[in-house]
Structure formats: C-alpha cells, structure tokens
Amino acid sequence: MSTLVIVESPTKARTIRNYLPSGYRVEASMGHVRDLPQSASDIPTAVKAEKWAQLGVNVDADFEPVYVVPKDKKKIVTQLKDALKEADELILATDEDREGESISWHLYQLLKPKVPTKRMVFHEITQEAIKKALKNCRNIDEQLVRAQETRRILDRLVGYTLSPLLWKKIAWGLSAGRVQSVAVRLLVTKERQRRAFHEGTYWDLKAYLEKEKAPFTAQLVTLGGTKIANGSDFDPATGQIAAGRNVVLLKEEDAAALQERLTGKTWNVREVEERPVTRKPAPPFTTSTLQQESNRKLRLSARDTMRIAQNLYEQGYITYMRTDSVHLSDQAIAAARSCVESLYGKQYLSPQPRQYTTKSKGAQEAHEAIRPAGSTFRTPQETGLSGRELAVYDLIWKRTVASQMADSRQTQVSIQLQVEDAGFRASGKRIDFPGYLRAYVEGSDDPDAALEDQEVILPSLQVGDHPDCKNLEAIAHETQPPARYSEATLVKTLESEGIGRPSTYASIIGTIIDKGYAQLVNNALIPTFTAFAVTDLLEKHFPDVVDPSFTSKMEQTLDDIATGEAKWLPYLKEFYLGDKGLETLVKERENQIDATKARTVELENLAAKVRIGKYGPYIEVENGEGVVTASIPKDLTPADLDPKQVEVLLRQKTSGPDQLGRHPETGEPIYVKIGAYGPYVQLGDKTDENPKPKQASLPKGVTPETVTFDMAVGLLALPRTLGVHPETGGKIQASLGRFGPYIVHDQGKEGKDYRSLKAADNVLTVSLERALELLSEPKKGRNSSSSKSKAALRELGTHPDDDTPINIYDGPYGPYIKNGKTNVSLPEGQSVEDMTLEKALELLASKVSSGKPTRKSSKSTTAKSKSTTTKTKSTTKSTSKSTSKTSASSAKKSDAED
C-alpha cells in the first residue's frame, strides 16, 4: 500500500520524510494551489463580462468566490495529480491553522481523490509528533475553511473596492486594506502628534556623592518642599507646564544659582527605604511577542522573523510559529525544567511547573506557544545552526526555558537626602536572587550583562549620615516628542487593539513599506506624505475603514464565524451591499471627492501646500508672480517639514542654488542643491551642451549648511584612484555610492571586489594602506566560492535533487536566481530579501518545464517582455497588496488580506 502525503514546502517535506515509514511519498504544494484571480488575465473567460469579475467574487450570488489555479502552480497541480494516481491513500498534512486547513480543502477540491483521504495535523515536526499525528487523523474542518474563506472574501472586497478609488483620486498603485489602512493611520496619527508637539526645557541638579569612598549619585526632586518639574509635567501642545501642576520649573539661571548656593553645604540622610520586589518570567512566545522581541533584540523585521521561524519549524527545530497561545504541553514543561536543572541547578527551578493562560479571546491558531521542538530541548550550541537562524532559535530557547525558572527576588532601595531646602533622591537596586534573569532578560541580548546593568548598589547609609558631595552638576533637559512606532511597538498596538491576526502582521508591515506608505529608518516606521493623503481621504469619506474599534469588532465577528456563533453570508451582505455598505458608500462618495484636494496634504502652521504628484510629493506656493513648486526630499519627514525647510527648498527654485565657489581647475561654479534624494553638489550649469553636469551626493551627516568648498571639490573628484594592488596590479579606488562610501579593487576578468568604509574612514582622505587592510578582511555574509566572477547577493540553500547551490546574483537586468546552468529573473515586485528557497525552486522548475531560454536573451525579447508587463499592468485591477507568494508561509496569505 502506498500513501501520498502533501505538505506546503520542500523543506517541510524533506523533514517529515525522515519520520514516515517506507511506502509514504511526501510532496509539496508550494503553498496555496488555488486563489482568487490576481490579475485580469487570470479571470476565467466565462465570467469576464460580469460586472463583478474584477473582484473575483460574485457579490450577486451569495458572494461565491471564483477560484483559479495560478499559472505558476499548474505544473505543481499536474505533478500532484500524477502522484495521486499511484497512491492508495491521500494524507493532507498542511499546517494546523485556518490557512493550512484551507490549503487542504483546496487540494481536495482540485485533486478529487478517489482513494481514502485523511487530514493530519501536528504542531511540531519530530518523530514522536508525526507518529502520533498518523494515528489521530481526522476530516477537513469545514467550519475553519469557511472562516478563512470569509476573511479572504472580506479582504478582497475592501482592497479591490477602495484601491481603484485611490488610483483615481491620489496616485496609481496605491492600496487600501482592512488592517493595512488602520495600521497606516496609526503611523500618521503619531506623526501628527510629533508635528503638533512643542518642546519644553527644564533644568535640574545631579549630585555626585561619596560615603566611605563608595560613590553614588542623587537627583534633585524637591525645592522648598515643592516637586521639581520634569518632562511629565509639560503640556506637549504648548511646551509649557501643564495646567494644575504644582511644581518648580528651574531655568538655566535658577539651576546655576542653586548649584552655587548648595556647594559646600552639609548633606543629611533623611530617610532610607528598602522594598522587596518579586518579578516573574514572561510567558513563552506567541507569534506577535516573538516578532516584537526579535525586532527589539535582533533588529529583525517582522517579515524576516517569520521567514526564519518558518524555516526553523520546517526543519524540526521549533513548534508551529503561528500561534496566539502561551500554553505549554506537559512534555514541553518537563523538557524546559530538565534544561533548567542541568544548566543552572535546582535552586533556579520554579517550585511548581508554570502554566500560562492565553488572554487573547480570539486565540485559535495553534494549541501551544512557540518553543523548541521535541521532548528534550537542544541547546542552541547543539543545533548546528548559524547566523540569524541560530539567533532566533536562541531567543525562543531562552524564553521557553526561563518560563519554568524561579522568580527573581530584588530589593529596591530609595534614599532621601536633604541639603538646606533642596531634597535629593538616590535610587538603587539589589538583586538578591536572579532566578529566571540568569537565562533571559526581556529586551536584552546578554543576561549576564543585563544583570549588571539592572543592579545599582548604594553604600550602606543610615538616617543622620552626612555623605560628602564631590560635585554638583546642573543639567539641561528637553522634552521629547512622542516616539514613532517601531515594528515591535506597532505589532504590540495592533494586537492590544484586537486588529488583524498576529500571523498577518509581518505581511501588513511589509506591504506598508513596499507601497511607499512608510520608510523604515533606524528601526522607526516613518509615514510618508502619501500616507497622510490616503489617511485623510479615508478618514473623511470612509471613517469606519480606518477606525480601530470598528476593525476590532470586524475581527471578532470573523472569529465568531469560525466558531459558528455568527453567520458569514448575512454579515458579508450587510458589510458590502447594505444601505451603509462599502459598495454603496463608494458609489455615493466617488463624485464628491475632489482629486486635487485628495492629493493635497494640509499641515498645521504651514502656508505651503503639499501635493502628491506623479513623481512624488512636492510643495507649492504662490509668491505673487505665480505658483512655485519644489520636490520634497525623500528623507524629509512630515513632522520635520516646517516654514524654514520650505524656504530653503523654494529659494533654490526662485533664486537659484547656493554657490560655494568656482572649481580651481575648470573655473565652473560649484552649487549646493537639494533634490528628491537629498542634498548634493553640482559642477557647472545644466545646458544643451552639458545636459548632465557632474553631481555628488553629500556624505551622511553632512548638510548643505556644513559642506565646505574643499569638501565639494573632493566629492566631485570621486572616484579617487588610491594606487594599485601589490598582488594583482589592479587599480584601487575610493568613491561614494548609494549605500555610502566604499573602496573597489578592479581584478580584471575576476570582477570587482568592494568593501564599505568604516565610520572612522573618510572617503576623501582614505589611504592605499587602509584600503588594502579593508580588502584583506573577508566579506560579511558572502561566499566567494558561490560564483567565480562575483559574489552572491544571497545564498538561498541547495537544490533537494542534487545539492547544488541556489543563489541570487545581480545582473544587467536586475537580480536573478541561479542554479547550475539555469537562471531565472526575480518576478516583478519581488525583493531579494523576501525570496525563499521554496519560491526559488518553484521558479526554477517553471523555467525548466517551459523550456525558456536562460538570461542570454535578445534585447527584442526583453523589450517584448517589458511591453507585455506594461500592458498587463494597465488592465489589471489588483490592489490591496503586492502579490506575495514567496514561500510556504507567505503563499498562504492573500494578496489583499488585511
């Protein structure tokens, strides 16, 4: 008897194959095999004439979805059908969440098996788990499938109804989404708060004290019995002390006078308080808390975190990574406690096994928290993992083990000191027993270092003691605007508000960035002017769509549909076709929305108008002689655009750019300009004879105000030839590129070898000796053996058939995937960072099966391809999200979901 087992990805298939008896054949579906049409060309001919065809949902016939097999999945479906012909039994072993259930249902509908069919579920890929799952197969859960289908339809209705409106009124290519638009509004609201913020300034004193040669510090807290003002006492709308606050605001002269008055005076200890504090370990990871902590500790995006976790799960290292649950099985608790006892000792074990309760009402994805797989936990060192996979596994391992450790016992120490009429406070912390902190500190990479940071030891002081004051320092403080969202804080906010599903947060944040609604700068999500325009339009005309409470209620209804507490069809009818339904509102409001106003962003205290144009945002001002416009640089944020910045941008258009001087050799003027990509210097004027004058971007940290004439001359002279390599004779140059300053070694036929300059290096002065030193260092994250002539942009892994490497390289027409002699371009809209081994295998397989030529295609073929792409774009109504079928994990998430 032979059994066909179908999972989502080749990696998962390889891992499961190791635990199944002989006679079991495991194949991968590569994620979803059917979905709603993604483009006009996907719509079946039979329904193309229908008015609802572009939606892919027949809203006139009980919202019946139109499912199609995408072109890149047809070969896979054929292969699965062929494999099924040789099987006596079919087991659908996709993931245990709603998406996995849906994939199994679609497979069943497509394959139409005539042999017995079972549904197998498990939350970890270990021998024990697979054996147990084989004995406990079940049928497909139709209720879960219906819940997923309803969510998919709802997301399609929102995305494909609102996005075309944004194209008409603001700009082509924009998208709206059920959760995406709420998330963008959160970013915009925070940026508005920053824009409205008024800075406040206050001063205080810091004392450097000593008792029996033991130093400690104390902060001024009262003066004459009244509290000293700090940042929390200011009104952010005015920059002044908030009404009703009885505090003393110290200005610079006040602080200086008080400093002088207290110098040399006697200090007295008035009160010593010690308070015991017990801290408990955090629960094991859920999807959202893993994304948050990975972002804080490892600086990984939510998308990267989920991709790495997916790989760890499929290789059998961790349990299923899409879960709202903090529950641990008895097996996991025993494994964690065993780790604690063997690595840290019995005293670090919690007295009783800890079990955590899931607080989220909608928790439903999996039955257990994210933890190391198996009945015994491999330590990070035992896994053989490396790089980011090791870092994420280490995080999960530590968090899980720490959850079964003893409480941390600490003592908070507070000492009140008096000098004349000024009250000071010294605060300390003593760790009496570290407990779980020995293994894991939330938000810190190194538990041992974190323990030292947390412990602040004060000398032994008694009431009436007179410590010596060695120094008294006056310190200025400025209140800070509300912090922008990081990926971690945005995920936390979405989850706390009950918006969306944690399993979709990674794709939502990715879409927000990909669609140009936000830039990720220093781990902060900064909304763009386009985000402001879209949010303004939706707030004014479709407030429910961006209302967090409305979206949260919608999420609850979708969960109720999954449990049978709500009916899916009446809900969809009311939401879309009702008197206040989305379709009705769009028809009513479309003619009321003025496109010019929709493209205009109104900002407080700014006379200039900000408009969204074809080539990005720009400012527009009437100066009496007409309208003057100027592009807004991409790095200028909405919160930072003030009248002074507007004046600088417009002056360049009206008065011409600032001239630093004339080049010492050519005599041409050197200008400082500001363009869409930031400030730069330009040599000479743009004329018919000189249509492209030489330009050079200013290095990071250099502004138009600080750039000097000599620096400008040096920048325009780049690239600088430093000399030749003593071994190859190849030329070595220093220059400035898109990603900063670098050096390059021309190795002739072997290609060029690049190295980025370090922060302390200056591209204008770096020497040949320093360049040779940098070139001698190995490239980070690259393996020169992967390509004879150039390094791979990314190494994806090896082909399961022959273990040959699959890498991504940069080519003349953009990045491409290479395996042996087969090359295939990355699909349009697909980034190098988001490409996975599974998707690469799929693309390579499609290329081989189609018999298409490799990258050495003619220019005419390329042009034709581009033309076809353009034509498809013009007739396609795909909207809410860029199609993302990049892996088994992302392939399960819809293009317009959330």
Q: Which residues are catalytic?
A: 320
CA–CA gap between residue 505 and residue 656 (Å, rounded):
46
**327-361 core/surface letters (b: 16 or more CB in 10 A; e: else):** bbbebbbebbbbbbeeebeeebbbeeebeeebebe
> If residue 538 lies in a helix (H) or strand (E), which one and from where to where?
helix 529-541
Q: What is the DSSP letter of 852?
A: -
What are 187's two structure tokens? Answer: 């970013």
Contact status, residue 658 vs residue 706, Cβ threshold 8 Å: no
Where helices occur in 171-301 by DSSP H, the ranges are 180-196, 252-262, 287-298
| Residues 120 and 101: beta-carbon distance below 8 Å | no
Distance from C-alpha of 431 to C-alpha of 456, rounded to nearest angstrom: 9
Given the structure tokens 């005309």, which residue do they identify? 541
Asked whether 888 and 12 are in contact (CB, 8 A), the reply is yes
Measured CA to CA, the distance from residue 674 to residue 571 in angstroms comes to 52
**Cis link prior to 719 (omega < 30° from 0)?**
yes
3-state secondary structure of 335: helix
Which element (helix H / strand E) includes 822?
strand 822-825
Distances (CA, A) of 828 to 39, 604, 841: 13, 39, 17
> At residue 301, what is the residue type?
S
In the three-class reduction of DSSP (H, G, I as helix; E, B as strand; rest coil), residue 261 is classed as helix
- For residue 523, the 8-state DSSP code is T
Amino acid letter, residue 44:
P
Pick from 505, 503, 555, 554: nearest CA to 525 = 505
Measured CA to CA, the distance from residue 117 to residue 114 in angstroms comes to 8
Helical ranges in 542-670 per DSSP H: 548-563, 568-577, 582-589, 595-598, 643-654
**φ, ψ for residue 716 (rounded to 5)?**
-75, -15
Residue ranges in 51-141 assigned as alpha helix (H): 74-85, 98-111, 127-135
CA distance 152 to 268: 69
Q: Which of these, 774, 713, 716, 777, lies nearest to 743 by C-alpha position?
A: 774
From residue 346, give the alpha-carbon distance in Å to each of 339, 371, 379, 398, 404.
10, 22, 18, 17, 11
Can you say whether the dihedral through the CA atoms of 283, 284, 287, 288 is positive or negative? positive
